[in-house]
Amino acid sequence: MNTKPRLTGEPIMRILCKTSENLVGYLYQWNNGDVQPAWFDGAVADVRYEPFIQATEQNPVDPKTPRPRQQDLTHLEKA
Distance separating the N- and C-terminal Cα atoms of the chain: 25
**What does the pLDDT look like over 33-62, one tens digit per residue?**
999 999 999 999 999 999 987 555 555 566
pTM attached to this predicted model: 0.64
Q: Is there a domain that residue 72 lies in?
A: no
Q: Is there a domain that residue 33 lies in?
A: yes
Q: Is there a domain that residue 2 lies in?
A: no
The predicted pLDDT at position 79 comes to 40
> How many domains is the chain partitioned into structurally?
1
Q: Is there a domain that residue 29 lies in?
A: yes
Q: Is there a domain that residue 64 lies in?
A: no
The predicted pLDDT at position 77 comes to 52
Contacts 24+ apart (CB under 8 A), 35-42: 35/71, 35/73, 35/76, 36/9, 38/11, 39/15
What's phi and psi for 54, nearest 5 deg?
Answer: -135, 155
Q: Is there a domain that residue 58 lies in?
A: no
Q: Is there a domain that residue 19 lies in?
A: yes
42 lies in which domain range? 7-49
Q: Is there a domain that residue 16 lies in?
A: yes
